[in-house]
Amino acid sequence: KAGVTQTPRYLIKTRGQQVTLSCSPISGHRSVSWYQQTPGQGLQFLFEYFSETQRNKGNFPGRFSGRQFSNSRSEMNVSTLELGDSALYLCASRGDVSGNTIYFGEGSWLTVV
Amino acid sequence: DQQVKQNSPSLSVQEGRISILNCDYTNSMFDYFLWYKKYPAEGPTFLISISSIKDKNEDGRFTVFLNKSAKHLSLHIVPSQPGDSAVYFCASINQAGTALIFGKGTTLSVSS
């Protein structure tokens, strides 16, 4: 069974640009969540989607947004990039809203210059 | 305010010995905890979990202990191996069941 797949793995963007990251959850999993990891803040929750609906959102500005498609694949978008957005962005999936084991992808490394 | 705390940023252990990683939480409503292992530039890998109805869960070399009264859990790795060297994160599922709340992590170094 394939794991959580994230693309792209590495990318470099310029301040002010926008970026879209993609995530394909484990086959059959309908819940997808996104996390940001930075050296200073650790792993922080961005948002979770289940059946194309955002169920919860972390404490991030509106520049961070996401969506989920009918096939459970998800994208997150960051607009007007800032240097501080440089981070590892992790996607995670689980089978359903009551499933407690959450599996992570390899992450997308974003560098903003 | 950190709800999940890993107060030891690093731990060094010799191969073959026991590694004990500690985690404290502040919210008594938390009822499910997970441990993840992470290498640099990779996603966290799920190791083991425990529900608050248990006080111990074991999986091979990994055992997690939960002390609800102290709001404390620990991960024991026995015997430790050099390949265990990584950052270990303790996490709890939030009350809504929608997100993981992570500790800052503990870097484990196992020397041969």
A86 pLDDT tier (thresholds 50, 70, 90): very high
Whether the pLDDT of residue B67 is over 90: the answer is yes
pLDDT digits (tens, 9 = 90+) for A23-72: 999 998 999 999 999 987 889 999 999 999 999 999 999 999 999 999 99
Give CA–CA dist A19/A11, Å, rounded. 9
Whether B48 and chain A come into contact, CB under 8 Å, resolves to no
* B43 three-state secondary structure: coil
Q: Tell me, what's the pLDDT at A96?
A: 63
pLDDT digits (tens, 9 = 90+) for B68-103: 999 999 999 999 999 999 999 999 988 777 788 999
Alpha-carbon distances of B77 from A58, B62, B85, B88, rounded to whole Å: 32, 5, 11, 11
Which among B43, B46, B105 has CB closest to A101? Answer: B46
Whether B101 and chain A come into contact, CB under 8 Å, resolves to yes
Give CA–CA dist A19/A92, Å, rounded. 19
Whether the pLDDT of residue B58 is over 70: the answer is yes
Q: Tell me, what's the pLDDT at A99?
A: 63
What percent of chain A has pLDDT above 70? 95
A109 pLDDT tier (thresholds 50, 70, 90): very high
- Residue contact B42–A101, C-beta within 8 A: no
Over residues B46-53, mean pLDDT: 93
Interface test with B, best of A6, A89, A93, A104 (most B CBs within 10 A): A104
Chains A, B: CB contacts within 8 A come to 62
Over residues A64-88, mean pLDDT: 97
Q: Tell me, what's the pLDDT at A34?
A: 97
Q: Tell me, what's the pLDDT at A97?
A: 56
Q: Tell me, what's the pLDDT at A40?
A: 78
B40 pLDDT tier (thresholds 50, 70, 90): confident
Q: Tell me, what's the pLDDT at A1?
A: 55
Which among B46, B89, B91 has CB closest to A103? Answer: B46
Whether the pLDDT of residue B1 is over 80: the answer is no
The per-residue pLDDT of chain B, averaged, comes to 94
Which among B43, B93, B94 has CB closest to A107? Answer: B43
The 3-state secondary structure of chain A, one letter per residue: CCCCEEECCEEEECCCCCEEEEEECCCCCCEEEEEEEECCCEEEEEEEEECCEEEEECCCCCCEEEEECCCCCEEEEECCCCHHHCEEEEEEEECCCCCCCCEECCCEEEEEC
- Residue contact A4–B98, C-beta within 8 A: no
Which among B34, B99, B105 has CB closest to A45? Answer: B99
Q: Quick one: which of B40, B68, B46 has its CA closest to B56?
A: B68
Over residues A66-92, mean pLDDT: 97
Q: Tell me, what's the pLDDT at B104?
A: 93
Chain B positions in Cβ-Cβ contact with residue A43 (cut-off 8 Å): 44, 89, 91, 100, 102, 105
